[in-house]
Amino acid sequence: MLNNQIVVVTGGAGLIGKAFVEAIAQNGGVAIIADISIERSHQAKASLPESLQYNIDVIELDITNKESITQQIQALHQKYGRIDALVNNAYPRNKNYGRHFFDVEYEDFNENVGLHLGGYFNVSKHFAKFFVEQGHGNIINISSIYGLVAPRFHIYEGTKMTVPVEYAVIKSGLNHLTQYMTVYLKDKNVRVNTLALGGILDGQPESFLKNYRDECLNKGMLNPKDIVGSLVYLLSEQSKYVNGQNIVVDDGFSL
């Protein structure tokens, strides 16, 4: 479905990122694992099927750093002759991220919003500028159901987990950033969409998994491979006229 598309996946070395990279390669695209750690990028590539290695490349990318972004755009353009899409999937945060609401310091809140939402703005701006000059492009922002609905704190009872206030602010802001960019880039042949994900299995406590399942329709927490079909659709020509949309994949949690 992706026909040799060159697709940059920020945070491509992570749990969700690797599933995206594998799906892109399986569908005939060239997936670029873009991570702040080049070592982690190489490790992620090596962990994927050998049959896909030819369709996977790695770069070191800091989405909060202008020079890092522009240098890698130039290098990829020189290597491949084009870049077709950017998948914004990185998850930058500081060491104090994830505290409960009353424990979050003002400085940490600002830093985490700046790193994550600011980083998405930063990398999107530079790729969008390149896409406009190139004549085509596609940006997919990875958001969350907690950018759409209020947290359901009761499902976290009995665990040390919570919904970080920064996360909710970041993801809701990202949804509007998608719409802003979509309209701003009118007539530029650059699409921008959001993929809002429900919870992804990653070793969470059983009590939380049960409570989360009770809020869903069929499965509950999803595996990374459960969400890749929607990404491939947004990258493909089948969604050519889908623009400015927020596609939710959450097994009905947000209903």
* pLDDT band at 17; cut points 50, 70, 90: very high
Q: Residue 52: pLDDT band by 50, 70, 90 thresholds?
A: very high
Residue 86: pLDDT band (50, 70, 90) is very high
Percent of the chain whose predicted confidence (pLDDT) is above 90: 99
User: Binning pLDDT at 50, 70 and 90, where does residue 135 land?
Assistant: very high
Query: Is 167 an active-site residue?
Result: yes
The CATH number of whichever domain residue 202 belongs to comes to 3.40.50.720
Is residue 254 in some structural domain?
no
Those residues whose C-beta lies under 8 Å from the C-beta of residue 195, and which sit 6 or more positions away, are 140, 141, 142, 143, 227, 230, 231, 234, 246, 247, 249
pLDDT interval class at 80 (50, 70, 90): very high
Return all residues near 53 (Cβ < 8 A) that are at least 6 apart. 45
Within 8 A by CB and 6+ apart from 131, the residues are: 83, 137, 138, 139, 188, 190
| Number of structural domains found in the chain | 1
- Asked if residue 255 is part of any domain, the answer here is no
Alpha-carbon span 224 to 38, nearest angstrom? 22
- pLDDT at site 251: 97
| 66 domain residue, yes or no | yes
Q: Is residue 1 part of a domain?
A: no
Of 167, 184, 212, 233, which residue is the catalytic one? 167
Give the pLDDT of residue 6. Answer: 98
Kind and range of the H or E element at 177? helix 165-184
Average pLDDT over residues 173-200: 97
Confidence (pLDDT) at 165: 97
Q: Residue 31 phi/psi, 5° resolution? A: -95, 125
Q: Which domain holds residue 93?
A: 6-249
